[in-house]
Amino acid sequence: MPLHTVSAVDALSQLEQFDAIVDARSPGEFALDHLPGAQNWPSLNDEERVHVGTMYKQVNAFEAKKVGAAMVAKNAAHHIEQHLIHAPKSWHPLVYCWRGGNRSHAQATIWSAIGFKVALLEGGYKAFRAAVVADIPQQVQRLNWFVVAGATGVGKTHILHALRDQGHQILDLEGLANHRSSVLGLLPGEQQPTQKQFETRLWDALRKLRSDAPVFIESESKRVGNVTVPESLILAIRASACVHIEMDRPLRAALLLRDYAHFANDTLLFANRLDTLTSHLGHATINEWKRLLQTGQVADVVHALLEQHYDPKYFESMRRNFTHYAQAAQVQVHGIDDADMADAAQQVIGLAAHPV
């Protein structure tokens, strides 16, 4: 069966039409980013790719191609035995490599000769990546944003998740970034995605959202840990209607101590993270907070962080950047349990129906 190609732009709207999306690049390339839902069936593994590339440079292309072809053939046989022995003839995959060249074409040619209907991604991952970057602003523009604002510790993420559980659309940037978007936001045992991977995750989430209903999002800054939110999305949420979540500071501290229990349980980790604030708050303040941690006064440090660092920075940033913040209606959250967050979510929904 003859091969056919799919352009990167067409692939943006056709991913669900394929039975499998196969990434023929090496595992290292795959780990940096890949198409949503892709499986990694490498034509060359990382070591083989380096070996063949070195031969290209140090010997010549002809010798490198011979060695590479043998490796690709061996790996292709393995993938057929492992993945395709029981696949029906109707199996319809999309396969790609870096630029739609030898690695994906080699596997696709074999599968096509077997009788499968194989599609090649024209231009490979590189073209798809360019198409995603170009499409993100268009996806952002078609959606109706409503911003859940509020200082650190008021439960914005919990309210966002409550909105999702109640059947409403959300965009959870912190979830996509594996980070809680603060100096203490790194999640233990979890690695953040690369910038490219974050943008692919973001695009994949955006394309699945409807434009006929609001999309709730937190009042995030430009950076969520080590990744940067695309400018088009930042500008959109800063210009959108918003609601301001309020919670008394003792409750906020209690919520933070619960959500960030790993810092309460590992005061050395907490102290190391505080070091990143030295340039903003000075050695004297940070050293005093470390002393409090050493004597078990974790709650006191959390209260001080809110009062001296998080709140001043947050409110100054909101006033400067968010167009409708001054007119935002307020929702008071009276507790930190799930029921309190669900009640706050209901109030947010009512305000979103009549935004300022």
81-88 CB contacts, 8 Å cutoff, 24+ apart? 83/41, 84/111, 84/114, 84/116, 87/116
Other beta carbons less than 10 A from residue 26's beta carbon? 21
**How far is it, in rounded angstroms, from Cα 286 to Cα 273?**
10
**How far is it, in rounded angstroms, from Cα 352 to Cα 87?**
48
Q: What is the CA radius of gyration of the chain?
A: 25
**Residue 106: Cβ-neighbour burial (10 angstroms; 0-12, 13-18, 19+):** buried
DSSP H stretches of helix in the chain: 8-11, 27-32, 46-58, 61-79, 102-114, 124-142, 156-165, 173-177, 195-207, 231-238, 249-259, 261-265, 267-274, 278-281, 283-294, 298-305, 311-321, 338-352
Which residues sit opposite 244 in a β-bridge? Answer: 149, 330
**How far is it, in rounded angstroms, from Cα 117 to Cα 93?**
7
**How far is it, in rounded angstroms, from Cα 26 to Cα 22?**
12
**How far is it, in rounded angstroms, from Cα 326 to Cα 149?**
11
Cα end-to-end distance, the chain, whole Å: 58
Residue 97 designated active-site? yes
- Which candidate in 97, 148, 163, 333 is catalytic? 97
Task: Give catalytic residue positions.
Answer: 97
